[in-house]
Amino acid sequence: MSRRAVALMVAGSLTLLLALCAALLPVPYVALSPGPTENTIGDVQGKPVISISGHQIYPADGKLSLVTVAYQGGPDNRLDLLTALRGWVDSTIAVVPEEAIFPRTSSIQQVEEQNTQEMTDSQQSATAAALNALKIPIQESISVAETDKGTPAEGKLKAGDEITAVDGTKVTTLDAVAAGVQKHKPGEPVTFSVQRNGAPTQVTINAGKSQDGRTMVGVRMQTTYKFPFKVDISVGDVGGPSAGMMFSLGIYDKLTPGSLTGGVSVAGTGTIDPQGDVGPIGGIEQKMVGARRAGATVFLTPGANCEDAVKAVPKGLRLVKVTTLDDAIKALDALRAGSKDLPACPAS
């Protein structure tokens, strides 16, 4: 074999080896793909997704499925370049910068904890929205989520404290608590009446001053709800707030006679607040693909996501535009009645 042939063989082998090594190099991207679906009026691993006790429930058929996005990659398990390239050419996968999912300001554990908390909050809001839609009274209260380090409230107010009054004035909203604090100047005492572990107590805190000069004590609050009966939601390892609307529909369906879907396989997505307003979510393209793969023919789409959804809707999936829980219920009522006049995402 000539020297030239040997040189070409060696060069080719080295080029191939370098290409293989480059393809296996980790890159700071995350691949988002269609995730599993769960029927909110069905079971998962033999257990109802939504369990209600203390109130009459009714059988439901069809499907009201929440949809998810699976991800591959992340700071502790980065994608290799070859996997990222495959994702870039696959229309059902979105390859996004790692920081879009895992901000540099947060650890992986913090991101996971936030997703878990958002799921918990969405379940509370979903239950409140469904009961409000049914005109079932619920009680709201204000509780302490956490206190900021180095602020006057640290060590005085505790997570779980229910704030009932500020300076003797009853409060039932977050704004009312904030207004009570803002009546004071920095350095003045603010007295909170709280329920702590079921017992009433008073906590007096000398107010501080925020960077923008406002009076503050350094407490983060949240609205909590007391429902007249028990609603449990179990979906396993799913995080984030985007299943809120579908939880609400599942609860509503179980608490009302008849079938909300009329036996149709319906999927959807969207955040929800206690008043029933539906908000946008991320990963709409992947969620639609997951819904269609699971057999859904109707997809309840947040109005703010319509523009992106119409560009990537899979064949056989009908988009129905919703902005409130009431919109979704009315659309399903119309669908069950055989109406073809449903609010649709407008074509771009």
Task: Check if 287 is active-site.
Answer: yes
What are 136-170's pLDDT values in tens digits? 999 888 999 999 999 999 999 999 999 999 999 99
DSSP type of residue 29: E
Cβ atoms of residues 235 and 49 within 8 Å: yes
Task: Check if 259 is active-site.
Answer: no
Give the CATH class of 139-226. Answer: mainly beta
Q: How many angstroms separate the CA atoms of 252 and 174, rounded?
A: 27
Q: Enumerate the CATH 2.30.42.10 domain ranges in the chain, comma separated.
A: 139-226
Cβ atoms of residues 32 and 94 within 8 Å: yes
The pTM of this model reads 0.81
Q: How many angstroms separate the CA atoms of 163 and 171, rounded?
A: 7
Q: Enumerate the CATH 3.30.230 domain ranges in the chain, comma separated.
A: 30-136+229-336
What are 274-322's pLDDT values in tens digits? 999 999 999 999 999 999 999 999 999 999 999 999 999 999 999 999 9
Options 63, 254, 287, 321, the catalytic residue = 287
Residue-wise burial string across 32-52, b where 16 or more C-beta atoms lie within 10 A, e elsewhere:
bbbbbbbbbbbeeeeebbbeb
Options 33, 242, 248, 265, the catalytic residue = 242
Residue-wise burial string across 251-289, b where 16 or more C-beta atoms lie within 10 A, e elsewhere:
bbbbbbeebbbeebbbbbbbbbbbebbbbbbbbbbbbbb
Strands 215-216 and 208-209, sheet pairing? antiparallel
Cβ atoms of residues 67 and 268 within 8 Å: yes
Give the CATH class of 30-136+229-336. Answer: alpha beta
